[in-house]
Amino acid sequence: MDEFSSAELLKQRLGGRNLYLVGMMGSGKSSTGPHLAKELAYGFVDSDKVIEQACGESISTIFAKEGELGFRNVETQVLNAIGQRHSLVVATGGGLITKSQNWGVLHQGIVIWLAPSREKLFQRLQSDPGNRPLLKHKNSRPIFENLCEERERFYKEADLEVKIFDEPPFEVAKLILKNLPSILSKPEDLGAQQTTEG
């Protein structure tokens, strides 16, 4: 079966369910998402970008004004709006999974955890600190380690874990496509996490 027809078949089996990419900041959700969406002829949404557009301010500014709790409330509202739509690949914010009510929306779709090693993640964040309010400190390593510890148990609730090494985003997208059928084979398997490595 050629690549096109297998992607078409996979799309049929997904039945319009959204794919939610979760993982730590720097895990590649925003760069992998567009490739995955293109393969499936899905739309792509970056939830952080939607928040910035809706508020007319950067994530850092919202954090500074509203605090993390205020930001998380806005994030939940945006996720609920996204969840009303279908056939989307959604890059979520790194901490979205920490709010239990968000899982009600996430589990209506398929949750995919992008999981580079901590060392790889920290290297990426050091080279591209970007718009990351939780790491705006001189000695950010302990904060980063604590965040990883806090969030890992939530990420483990994902339907599929994809371990990432040095693959470029389009290869990560192909890895996801290759492993999605393993969790679609039986509906009752959804929620029982599968792990795959690149």
- pLDDT for position 166: 87
Domain boundaries along the sequence of the chain: 3-197
Query: CA 18, CA 124: separation in Å to the nearest integer?
Result: 27
Are β-strands 43-46 and 19-22 bridged in parallel, bridged antiparallel, or unpaired?
A: unpaired
More confident residue, 163 or 120: 163
Q: Residue 160's pLDDT band (boundaries 50, 70, 90)?
A: very high
* pLDDT, tens digit (0-9, with 9 covering 90-100), for 51-99: 999 999 998 899 889 998 999 999 999 999 999 999 999 999 999 999 9
Q: What is the DSSP string of 46-97?
A: EHHHHHHHHHTS-HHHHHHHHHHHHHHHHHHHHHHHHHTS-SEEEEPPTTGG
**Percentage of the chain with pLDDT > 90?**
66
- pLDDT for position 190: 44
pTM for this predicted structure: 0.87
CATH number belonging to the domain at 3-197, selected among 3.90.950.10, 3.40.50.300, 2.40.50.140, 3.40.50.970: 3.40.50.300
pLDDT of 5 > 90? The answer is no
Q: Residue 179's pLDDT band (boundaries 50, 70, 90)?
A: very high
Q: Residue 2's pLDDT band (boundaries 50, 70, 90)?
A: low
Q: Are 13 and 184 in contact (CB under 8 A)?
A: yes
